[in-house]
Amino acid sequence: ASFSDLHDEL
**Using CB under 8 A as the criterion, which residues of the chain lie in contact with other proteins when the complex forms?**
2-4, 6-10
Residue 1 C-beta: closest distance to other proteins, Å:
10
Residue 8 C-beta: closest distance to other proteins, Å:
5
Residue 7 C-beta: closest distance to other proteins, Å:
6
DSSP of 1-10, one letter per residue? --HHHH----
d(CA 10, CA 6): 12
